[in-house]
Chain A
Amino acid sequence: MGDGKNGRAQRIGEVILALKGVSLAFGGVKALSDVSFDVREHEVRAIIGPNGAGKSSMLNVINGVYHPQQGTIRYLGREYHDMDPHEVAVSGISRTFQSLALFKGMSVLDNIMAGRNLKMRSGVLMQALRIGPALREEIQHREAVERIIDFLEIQAYRKTPVGRLPYGLQKRVDLARALAMEPRVLLLDEPMAGMNMEEKQDMCRFILDVNDQFGTTIVLIEHDMSVVMDISDRVVVLDYGAKIGDGTPDEVRANQAVIDAYLGVSH
C-alpha cells in the first residue's frame, strides 16, 4: 500500500474541484453550513463524518441534485452557483449512490450501457432503422462496456435483471455504470456499505485500480476508518453540516475536534 501511495503522490495535480462557503438548507433544516474544501486531480479524497453530517448532501450539491443557498463550486476553472446535472455529467463528474439507484427494470448490461448514453449521438430516425452509424455506435459502446464488465469481473451477470443480484454485485454494477461515463472525477457514496471483508478488499482494489490505470480523481464517502486511512491521500471531516477537519489521514486522526465528534462529546 505504501508504495502505491507514494507513487500516487507524485502524480497528484492541481485543484480540479473546489467548494467555497457552500450552505444548504431544507426549510428549517441546515444540511451544510459554510463548507469549503478542494480536491486535487488524481488524488483519492475521503469525506468522513458521523451519520447525518451532510456528506451525501455534499455530493448531491456537486452533482446539481441540490442547489445550495450560498457558496460557489469551482470546476475546471469555471465557477458555478449551482450545477446542472446534465452539464456535470458531460463535463466528467460521475457518481455512485448510497442507496444504489440502479434501474431496476433493466439488465446489468443495459444499466451500464445507460452510462454511455451521454456519449451516443445518433438521432431518432437512425435508431429507428438501426442501420449505419446507429448500429456501429451501439456495437462500439458495447465494446467499451464489456471492457468495464471484465474489469469489475461481472461477466456472468450481464443479462440478469439488476433487481435479482445480491447487494455486493449491485454495488459493482453501480460502480460500472459510473465508470462507463469515463469520468475525470468519480464520486463514491459509501461504496463499501454492507459488504463483508472480502468484498471490501475487492472494492478497494477496484477503486485503486481505477485511480491508477485511468487517473480518475476519487472523492469517496466512507465509514470504515481503516479503508479511509489506507487508501486516501487527504480527508475532509464533516459534522452537523460543518467542516471540522481537513488534511492527511494522520493529521485528521490526531485532530481533537474530530475525535470529539466521533466519540460523541457534546458541543
Chain B
Amino acid sequence: MFYRENGQFKSSYGSDQQMLPILQDRAFMFGLLAFAFLVVPFVVRDYVFLSLLIPFLILAVAALGLNLLVGYCGQISLGHAAFMAVGAYAAYNLVLRVPQLNFLVVLVLAGLIAAAVGVLFGIPSLRIKGLYLGVATLAAQFFMDWVFARVKWFTNYAHSGSVQTAPLELFGWTVDSPVEKYLFLLCVLIVFTIVANNLVRGHIGRAWMATRDMDVAAEVIGIRPVYAKLTAFAISSFYVGVAGALWGFVHLGSWEPLAFNLTLSLNLLFMVIIGGLGSLLGSYFGAAFIVVLPIVLNQVPAWLGVPISTAMASHLEFMIFGALIVFFLIVEPHGLARLWAIGKEKMRLWPFPH
C-alpha cells in the first residue's frame, strides 16, 4: 500500500533512467544517509565503529568491485585479494617514497596500479571462462602472495616482512579517531556506489551483462569481448585496490603479506554470492553478513555459557560459513538481495497477500 509507483509518471527519458526513480526509494535513501551522517556518529560506541562499521564500509567497496566482475560481467575470480594486496602495498610505497602526495591521490594511484595488474591477470579471460578462469585467477593469488613476501623492496626491507602505516592526513585533518575514520570511509563508499551505479546503467554495464548472459551473441551484436572483460577486470581491480589500501591504512594500521591471502579472496566471493550476484545492494548485504557473522559467532558461546577457545571459535566459524553458503545456494541462489526484492514486492501489495 505504501510502496506503490502509482502516479509517479516520468516525462523525460532522463528522469526515467535515474538512479532511484521511485519516490519512496528516494525518501528512504535520504533518511538512511541522514541517519548515517547525523545520528550514528553521536550514538555509537567506538568498539562498534572499529569492529563492525569500519570493516563493513571497506569490504563493501571491495564487494562492489568484485560484484561488477563476477555478478555483472560473469567472470569468476578466486584470487581477488591479490589485487587488494597490490593496492595496499602500492599505497604504502607511494606514501613512503612520495610523501608530498595527498592521500586521496595516493588512493587513486593505488587503485590504478591495482587495475593495471588486474588487467594483466584478466587477459586469460579472453580465452577461457568459467572454472578454468577461476583456476587461472588462483595463479594471481599465489603469485602476488609470493611477490609481496619475498621481494623485499615492497616491504621496505623490513625484517619481519610486515609494514606499518602512520595515521592518514587529509588537507590538514588527521583521520585517526574511529568516528573520523567512519565518516571518511562513508564518503568514499558513497562515491564508489554512485560510480558503480552509473557504470551499470551505462553502455559498459550493458556490455558486461551481455557478455555474462551470452557472450557469442554479444559479440555478434557488436560488443567487443576484449573491451567488456578487460574493463570489468580493470574497474573491479581498481575498486578492490582502493579497498585494499583503505584496509591496510585505515583498518589494520599494519599488516603482513598473508593478510591478503586465499581466505580473504574466498570471503570476498562469499560476500557477493550470499549478498546477491549482479546486485549492488547485494554487495552491501554480503559485506554486512560477512562482517557481522564472526562477531555473532563469538558471542553465542558466551550467551550459551559454553566457553570455547578462539581457535575453536574460528574453526566453528569456518564450518558455519561453509554450511551457510551451501544453504543459501539451495534456498536462494540469488542471495539476500533477492530476498529483499521479494520483501519489497510484498510491501507493494500489502495488505493484500497477492
Contacts and interface: CB of A to CB of B under 8 A. Distances in A.
A64 B136 CA distance: 28
Interface stretch (A67-75, A103-111, A242-250): A103-111
Contacts of A124: 199, 204, 231, 235
Interface string A84-95: 011011100011
A63 to B, nearest CB: 5
Chain A facing B: main interface SS = helix
A101 B217 CA distance: 6
A86 B213 CA distance: 18
B202 A127 contact: yes
Interface stretch (A9-17, A136-144, A195-203, A255-263): A136-144
Given A110-B209, A114-B210, A120-B203, A85 B198 contact: no
A117 B220 contact: no
Contacts of A130: 198, 201-202
A118 B220 contact: no
Contacts of A114: 206-207, 209-210, 218, 221, 223
Nearest to A139: B13
Contacts of B206: 106, 110, 113-114, 117
Given A105-B213, A105-B278, A86 B202 contact: no
A171 to B, nearest CB: 14
A115 interface: yes
Contacts of B210: 103, 106, 114, 117
A117 B14 CA distance: 18
A135 B14 contact: yes
Interface in B185-218: 195, 198-199, 201-204, 206-207, 209-210, 212-214, 216-218
A97 interface: yes
B176 interface: no
B344 interface: no
A118 B222 contact: yes
Given A105-B213, A117-B207, A127-B203, A139 B17 contact: yes
A101 B202 contact: no
B16 to A, nearest CB: 8
A65 B219 CA distance: 9
A92 to B, nearest CB: 10
B221 A105 contact: no
B224 interface: yes
26 contacts: A64-B220, A88-B220, A89-B219, A89-B222, A94-B222, A97-B217, A101-B216, A102-B213, A102-B217, A103-B213, A103-B217, A110-B206, A113-B206, A114-B210, A117-B207, A117-B221, A118-B221, A120-B203, A124-B231, A127-B199, A127-B202, A135-B14, A139-B17, A142-B17, A181-B221, A181-B222
Interface of B: 12-14, 17, 195, 198-199, 201-204, 206-207, 209-210, 212-214, 216-224, 231, 235, 278
